Chain A
Amino acid sequence: MTVARVGRRQVSIWRKARKSLGPWAYIAPAGIIMAVISFFPQAFQIWMAFTNFTVKNLRFNVFNPDTWAKYAPSAVGFDNFVRIIKSDLPISTYDFGRILGWNLSWTFINLIFHVSLGIAIAMALNSRRVFFRRFYRAMFVIPWALPAYVSALTWANMFNKDFGAVNQLFHTNIDWLGQGSVAGPFGGILSWLPWAAYAVIIANIWLGWPFMMVVATGALQSIPHELYEASRIDGASGWQQFRFVTMPLIRPAMVPAIMLGSIWTFNQFNVIYFISRGGPLGRTEILITQAFKLVYENQLYGVAGAFSIVTFFILLIITLIQNRVTRATESYDLA
C-alpha cells in the first residue's frame, strides 16, 4: 500500500465525514435528547443495581464530587440479583417464582382473549350485512382510546363489594378486591387464583381486545374479496375460508400486534395497581408493580434497579422465543 493510497483514503473519509455533517446535525437533537433522558438514566440504573442504594444515598450526585464521600452507596456485586431470585427481600408478600408465574399466566390468558375476541369481532364487523358498522367500530375502540388508569379506576369502583356495579347487577356480595382473603371461586388447579385475579383479568380483557380488533380490521379489509369468491367456487366451507384464506393473510399484521400486546400486557401496570394493588397478599402482583413498590413503598433503589434488569431479561427471552416461533420479523412470501 503506498503513501499516496493511504492519503487518498484519509481524504476520502474526511470528505465523507464533511458530507455527512448535515445529516448528523439533523439527528443531533434526537440523539442528544435520547442520550440525556434515556441512555444516561439506564446506565445509572444499571450502576445502582450493583449497589445498596437506599434513601440515605439520595443526595448522591454523580456530577458533584462533594457528595461522593458522604452519600455514595457501597458496591454489593450481584447481591441484589441473588436476593431477588431467592425471594430474600423485606417484603412478606414477595415471592419471585409466584410473581413470575402469575405474570406469565396473566399475559397468556389475556392474550388469548384479546386476540380471539379481537379477530372474531373484527370479522363480524367486516360483514357487509351488519348495519352501523362504523358506529360499532367507533364504540368498540373507546376502551382502547380511554386512558388506561381511568378505565382501571372505573373498574375498581365497579368491583367494590358494597357499592360496586358488578355486585349490584348480579345481586351478589362478592368481595372481589378484598385484601383479607385469597379464596377464589374455583378449587382444584385454579384454587390459587383469588377473586381479585378474575377481576383484573376481566378488566384487562375489556381494555385489550379493541386494539386487536383494530389491527385485524385493517388486515381483513386488505384481503381481496375475489379470494373468498374463488375459495367458495372451489367448495371451501366457512371454516376452511377462515383457516386457509383469512388466517394466512391477517397473520403478517397480527403477529407483530400480538408481540406488542404481549409486552404491553406483561407490563400492564395500571390495571393491576389501580384495581387490586397487587393484592390480596401479593397474589396478583406482577413484576412491574413489584418494581414500582420497591421504589415507592420500600425505597430500596438498588434492589429496584436490579429488579428492572431482571424484568428486562425475562421480557427479552420471551420476545426472542416469540420471534423464533412466529417468525414475526421474517418476510412473508404469499406466492
Chain B
Amino acid sequence: MMFAKRGALIAVVAVFALVVAACGGTSTTTTEAGGGTTTTAAMSSTTTEAMGSTTTEAMADLTGTIQLWHAWKDAEIESLNEVIAGFQALHPNVTFDVLYVPFDDLQNKVTTEWSTGTGPSVLIGATDWASSFLDADLIYDMKGMVSQDVLDTINPAALSAVDYNGVYAGLPETLKGVVMFRNKTLVPDAPATFDDVLAAGNASLERGFFFSMANLVTACGGQVADADGMPAFNTDAGVCWLELLNQYPSPTYNTDDDVDTFKAGQSGIVIDGTWNIGALSEAIGADNLAIDAWPTTENGAMSGVVQTESIYISNNTTDADLDASKAFVEYFLSPEAQKILSDSTKAAHIPAVSGVEVTDPLLAGAVSAFSGGIAQPRFGGCYWGNMDTALNSYFGGEATAQEALQNAADIIGNAVTANECS
C-alpha cells in the first residue's frame, strides 16, 4: 500500500515536471568570464560568439540575442557570417542564433512561430511575404526602426516595394531577379533577338510563372494584376504571353533541371535567378559565364522579374533584443556590410542601397539586365498556384490559352474579393 502511494506521488510529480518542461523556453544563456555570451538554442545551426572585446569596449553598449533566420545558400552564408562578425566587432555583447530554413518552408515556419510569440527576431526573406506578415500583425513598421539617413540611402524603387500605405513592411536589403545566363563557350555571341535564342539550338528555358511572368508585360504589353490586386492577365496580351512561352526551346517547369543541364555544360542558355550566379560560376567557370541583356521579341522584349529581398523585425522582439536587432538592420544596410554581400565570389548580392559600387562584370551584367525587367507585381498568394495551373493546363493541351487564363482569373478574382489571398 505504501509502495502504491509512493508510486502515485512519483507519477504526479513526473507529470508536473513534464508540463513545466514543456512550457519552458528552448534556449539557455550563460555568461562567460570574458564578458562575452554564448547562447545555446535547440534550433540553432550556427552560433557565432562575441569577437575579442579589447578594441571595442567603448562600443560594447548593446546586449541581447539576435535570432536570425534566412534561406541563403552556401556562398551567401559565408558573406552573412562576415557581416555578423563585422557587427559583433562593434557590439561584442550581442550574440547570434542563426538558422537556415529552406526557402520553400521559411514563410510558413516563420508565420507559425511568430504568431505563437516565438521565432526569429530578425528575418531575411522575400519582400512579397510582407502583406501576409502585416495581415497577421507579425512585424514592426520599419520606418521607426532605422535612422532617416539609412532610409535615404535605399533605392527609392526598392523602398516603394515595401511601402504599404506609409508602413514599411521590412526594408529591402538586396536586389535580385530573373536573368538570362549564357555559357560563352557554347554560345559565343549574346542573342539579340528571341529568334537568335532559338537559333542557338541549345537553350533550355524555364517557363514557370515566376520566371516567365515579366514577359506578359514587356513582350506582350499586358499586366498580371491591376492596382486592386484583381487579375488583369486574361486579355489578348495574356494569350500572346502563353504563345511566346510555348515556343521556348527545351522548356522546363519549376524544376532545377534546366540549371543542372547548364551546369553540366549541356545547354548554353538558361533563365534563372541572380541568386545562382555563384553556383553557375563555380560549375562552368566565371570567365565562361555571361549575363546578357534581354533579347527582343516581335512586339517588345523578353524580361525577368526584379525583386527585392527584405529584412524584417518581428514584433515579438522587445527590450535589449529589439535594440540589438535595430542596430543590426542598420548595420546590414550600411555600405560596409553591403560591400561584403556584393562579393561576386560569395553572396554576389546587388546592393539595394546607394554608395556601393558594383564592379564585377557578372553583377554589372545583372544590373544592366534588370533595367529591362519589371518590378515584381504586388499581388496575393492566390496567384502562384493558380497561375502555374493555368500554364500547365495550356502547355498540357488541357485548355486553350483563353480558357486557361479565364479559369485562373475567375478563381483568383473570387478569392481576392473574398479576401482569401494573403
Contact = CB atoms under 8 A, between A and B. Distances in A.
Interface stretch (A226-234, A296-304, A313-321): A296-304
A148 interface: no
A73 interface: no
B6 to A, nearest CB: 10
A28 B381 CA distance: 45
Interface in B88-108: 108
Contacts of B167: none
B415 A28 contact: no
A161 interface: yes
Given A58-B136, A91-B386, A92-B390, A179 B8 contact: no
Interface in B374-422: 381-382, 384-386, 388-393, 395-398, 407-408, 411-412, 414-415, 418, 420-422
B7 interface: yes
B386 A22 contact: no
Given A55-B136, A93-B389, A180-B253, A296 B108 contact: yes
A56 interface: yes
B415 to A, nearest CB: 3
A59 interface: yes
B198 interface: no
A281 B381 CA distance: 18
* B interface SS class: helix
Contact of A297 (B136, B137, B385): B385
A26 B11 contact: yes
B381 A299 contact: yes
Chain B CB within 10 A, most for which of A36, A92, A279, A299: A92
B32 interface: no
Interface string A13-37: 0000000011001101100110010
A38 interface: no
B381 A298 contact: yes
Contacts of B11: 25-26, 28-29
B261 interface: yes
A70 B421 CA distance: 20
Interface residues of B, number: 51
Nearest to B389: A92
B320 interface: no
B199 interface: no
Given A32-B15, A59-B137, A180 B411 contact: no
Q: Chain A interface residue count: which class?
A: 35 or more
B115 interface: yes
B44 to A, nearest CB: 24
A22 B7 contact: yes
B12 interface: yes
Contacts of B408: 92
B265 to A, nearest CB: 14
B420 A180 contact: no
B132 to A, nearest CB: 6
Contacts of B48: none
A181 B415 CA distance: 26
B393 A281 contact: yes
A180 B422 contact: no
A36 B253 CA distance: 44
B409 to A, nearest CB: 10
A160 interface: yes
B33 interface: no
Contacts of A54: 420, 422
Contact of A55 (B14, B18, B388, B422): B422
Contacts of B132: 55, 299
Interface string A260-281: 0000000000000000000111
B396 A181 contact: yes
B389 A56 contact: no
A163 interface: yes
B19 A32 contact: yes
Interface of A is mostly: loop
A178 to B, nearest CB: 7
A58 B420 CA distance: 14
Contacts of B15: 28-29, 32-33
B336 interface: no
Contacts of B137: 59, 71
Interface string A120-162: 0000000000000000000000000000000000000000111
B58 interface: no
Nearest to B254: A179
Contact of B136 (A26, A59, A92, A160): A59
A29 B22 CA distance: 13
Given A25-B7, A54-B422, A92-B386, A281 B392 contact: yes
A201 B391 CA distance: 26
Nearest to B114: A58
Contacts of A280: 392, 396
Interface in B4-24: 4-5, 7-9, 11-12, 14-15, 18-19, 22
A179 B18 contact: no
Contacts of A279: 392
Contacts of B393: 281
A90 interface: yes
Contacts of B12: 25, 28
A93 to B, nearest CB: 5
A281 B389 contact: yes
B420 A300 contact: yes
Given A90-B386, A181-B396, A182-B396, A56 B422 contact: yes
11 contacts: A22-B4, A28-B15, A29-B18, A36-B22, A54-B422, A56-B422, A59-B115, A91-B386, A180-B391, A297-B385, A299-B422
Interface of B: 4-5, 7-9, 11-12, 14-15, 18-19, 22, 108, 111-112, 115, 132, 135-138, 253-254, 257, 260-261, 381-382, 384-386, 388-393, 395-398, 407-408, 411-412, 414-415, 418, 420-422
Interface of A: 21-22, 25-26, 28-29, 32-33, 36, 54-56, 58-59, 71, 90-93, 160-163, 178-183, 279-282, 296-300
Given A25-B7, A56-B136, A161-B257, 6 more contacts: A25-B12, A28-B12, A59-B115, A90-B418, A92-B389, A92-B407
